[in-house]
A and B are shown apart, each in its own frame.
Chain A
């Protein structure tokens, strides 16, 4: 059914496997970062971030107001803070080419392999 590797080949099998994986790596990396950058996906992503920012801000403000009895001041403050957070997230999505909004660049193996195009590394982590 399948050929058994010769025993002496086992020695460098690990090395060969590593080399092959390294060769396969750049292509997979490209696929992993490029795919979600479709126009509509990006648009949905951005709108989701904006809505989520405003929504979460207003929600937190409303409940803090109810809890502290400071209506409507915290609602107003948190509405604007939430909007700012939404904008910040949009900024992060747009500057980091892919859909990611991570705070720090991915620390996967792509860094150690260190060659060529690494889009997500300019994801803003200001």
Chain B
């Protein structure tokens, strides 16, 4: 039986060594390209007809659009509107990555910390730059909440600064841990089916249930990543 974590192994699809960096096209890159291609296809084909009364496909596209638009409206407000394309792309990319990972023989690129940390760092650095651009040095008031007694400040300020820097880490860790744990669990239960023979029907039932759960988690984690990005954006835009 294959090891339950073998599914996360990065394999080169197309070797490409640039001397200083190994820029090989891997199975992870392949899935990312497929995800982007599918998203483009999904959106472009969905709005191809542009009918006033949407058909089924167009309804789904509009639902996705409305979903993210509402998320930004309730969490950031109307000044969050310029950032809609970014949040929408982020949400769709993670959602499609998670969902593609649910296909058998596929690969889940969101189960790699390098990928999730990369996205989280873009959000983190981006929101920090926005906060600086909007508020200048007033940004540092972030680290000293209102009404803090002066004698607590020397202790609280380093804690707040560290807490700020944990944002990209916890953001990426959450997605990574969810995807890795879920897929490992599926594989472990899948192994039990073979090992237990006739009684394998019990783990098989568990796998069916877990697959449903994983589909929910795949959506939920994309949603959580997007909503936390919105919340960080809100903090950056509306700092008092």
Interface residues of A (CB under 8 A from B): 1-2, 28-29, 32-33, 35-36, 38, 40-41, 44-45, 47-49, 51-53, 55-57, 60, 78, 81-82, 84-86, 88-89, 98-104, 106-110, 125-126
Contact = CB atoms under 8 A, between A and B. Distances in A.
B77 A107 contact: yes
A40 B221 CA distance: 11
Contact of B52 (A1, A81, A82): A1
Interface residues of B, number: 43
B173 A35 contact: no
Q: Which of B71, B78, B167, B170 has the most CB of A within 10 A?
A: B170
A109 B227 contact: no
Interface string B105-146: 000000000000000000000000000000000000010011
Given A55-B169, A88-B163, A108-B76, A100 B231 contact: yes
Given A53-B166, A104-B240, A126-B145, A36 B235 contact: no
Interface stretch (B26-34, B154-162, B188-196): B154-162
A81 B163 CA distance: 9
A110 B232 CA distance: 17
Given A44-B174, A48-B170, A53-B166, A38 B53 contact: no
B49 to A, nearest CB: 11
B223 A85 contact: no
A17 B53 CA distance: 17
Contacts of A33: 74
17 contacts: A2-B52, A28-B74, A36-B223, A41-B220, A48-B173, A48-B177, A53-B166, A56-B166, A81-B159, A81-B162, A85-B160, A88-B159, A88-B160, A89-B166, A103-B142, A103-B235, A109-B77
Contacts of B170: 45, 48-49, 51-53, 89
A85 B145 contact: no
Given A32-B71, A85-B159, A99-B228, A44 B178 contact: yes
B238 interface: yes
Contacts of A103: 142, 145, 235
Q: Which of A86, A107, A108, A126 has the most CB of B within 10 A?
A: A108
Nearest to B166: A52
9 pairs of A and B residues whose beta carbons are closest in the complex: A52-B170, A52-B169, A85-B163, A85-B162, A48-B174, A52-B166, A102-B231, A108-B77, A48-B173
Contacts of B165: 56, 60
Given A49-B166, A109-B77, A99 B234 contact: no
B3 interface: no
A76 B68 CA distance: 42
A48 B75 CA distance: 22
B223 A102 contact: no
A74 to B, nearest CB: 11
A102 B227 CA distance: 11
